[in-house]
């Protein structure tokens, strides 16, 4: 297993070294069996604090909230590939002594799925609406990625983030209001430079369910009943591909039930993660 090393005397924020040599930071809170949290495209690890999700989880688990590469105290690399994100998640999971429950949201859910192919240290897997293309749902991102790059070149990081949230993440106005009023909004703005490369890589990713037929880790797939059809198709495809999985939809909710229906989200995660099966 990789060694986790604290970068400062505080000891709560630690780093692991990913396969390409990049330092990946995470914040550890709580006590109990390990739960690793992987945020989505435009977020930082404090995303899980927009409601009381992380603090409640920390009453039951040792929570490891990752800052994905390119943000927070995590490092970055000159070249970017989607596979590096999966290796980052696997590096954190492998640095933990006990089998891990891994929870990923949005693009973090995709990287968690891919990490499940790269580690043997998973106890449970939970994924909320990974952005994958299945069936007739294709991501036409060329114009949006080009516009995000233009905005970034002009120093318009906040406009870049807003464009992504509206045009690609398909967040509802309520979900965007939650994000914009959050203490982490400026950290999200600072991470906007990662959005074009990440979304381009996701658009090029091809989901092959056959690759996951031997992933027998008990898996909970989460989705919103009011989410766009491509998210619904994605969650169904993932559920069908993983042999030990089940799908739960949050009626009336969209892409971020952890923020818009936090009580039910917490209950679903806790019930699944604490079950001995």
CA distances from 30 to 51, 125, 149, 224, 263 (A): 17, 19, 39, 28, 19
- Main-chain dihedrals φ then ψ at residue 65, nearest 5 degrees: -100, 110
Sequence-separated (6 or more) residues with CB below 8 Å from residue 267: none
- Kindly give the confidence (pLDDT) of every residue in the chain, 277 residues in length, as a single tens digit, with 9 standing for 90 and above: 344 433 333 337 999 999 999 999 999 999 999 999 999 998 999 999 999 999 999 999 999 999 999 999 999 999 999 999 999 999 999 999 999 999 999 999 999 999 999 999 999 999 999 999 998 877 888 999 999 999 999 999 999 999 998 888 788 888 888 889 989 999 999 999 999 999 999 999 999 999 999 999 999 999 999 999 999 999 999 999 999 999 999 999 999 999 999 999 999 999 999 987 7
Cα angle 162, 25, 217; round to 5: 90
So what's the pLDDT on residue 244?
97
So what's the pLDDT on residue 247?
98
So what's the pLDDT on residue 137?
76
Residue whose structure tokens are 């990752």: 66
Residue whose structure tokens are 């999985």: 245
Domains of the chain by range and CATH?
13-136+207-274 (3.40.50.1820)
So what's the pLDDT on residue 73?
93
So what's the pLDDT on residue 107?
96
């Amino acid at each position: 297993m990789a060694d986790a090393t604290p970068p400062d005397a505080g000891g709560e924020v630690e780093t692991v070294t990913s396969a390409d040599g990049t330092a990946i930071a995470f914040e550890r809170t709580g006590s109990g069996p390990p739960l690793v949290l992987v945020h989505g495209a435009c977020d930082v690890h404090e995303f899980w604090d927009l409601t009381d999700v992380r603090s409640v989880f920390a009453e039951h688990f040792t929570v490891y909230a990752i800052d994905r590469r390119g943000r927070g105290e995590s490092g970055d690399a000159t070249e970017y590939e989607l596979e590096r994100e999966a290796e980052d998640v696997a590096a954190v999971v492998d640095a933990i002594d006990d089998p891990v429950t891994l929870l990923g949201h949005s693009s973090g859910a995709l990287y968690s799925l891919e990490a499940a192919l790269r580690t043997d240290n998973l106890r449970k897997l939970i994924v909320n609406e990974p952005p994958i293309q299945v069936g007739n749902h294709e991501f036409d991102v060329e114009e949006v990625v080009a516009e995000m790059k233009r905005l970034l070149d002009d120093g318009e990081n906040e406009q870049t983030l807003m464009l992504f949230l509206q045009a690609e993440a398909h967040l509802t106005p309520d979900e965007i209001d939650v994000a914009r009023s959050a203490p982490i909004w400026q950290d999200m703005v600072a991470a906007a430079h990662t959005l074009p490369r990440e979304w381009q890589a996701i658009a090029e990713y091809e989901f092959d369910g056959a690759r996951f037929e031997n992933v027998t880790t008990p898996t909970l797939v989460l989705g919103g009943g009011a989410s766009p059809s491509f998210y619904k198709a994605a969650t169904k495809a993932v559920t069908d591909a993983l042999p030990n999985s089940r799908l739960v939809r949050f009626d009336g909710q969209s892409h971020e039930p952890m923020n818009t229906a936090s009580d039910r989200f917490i209950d679903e995660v806790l019930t699944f993660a604490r079950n001995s099966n």
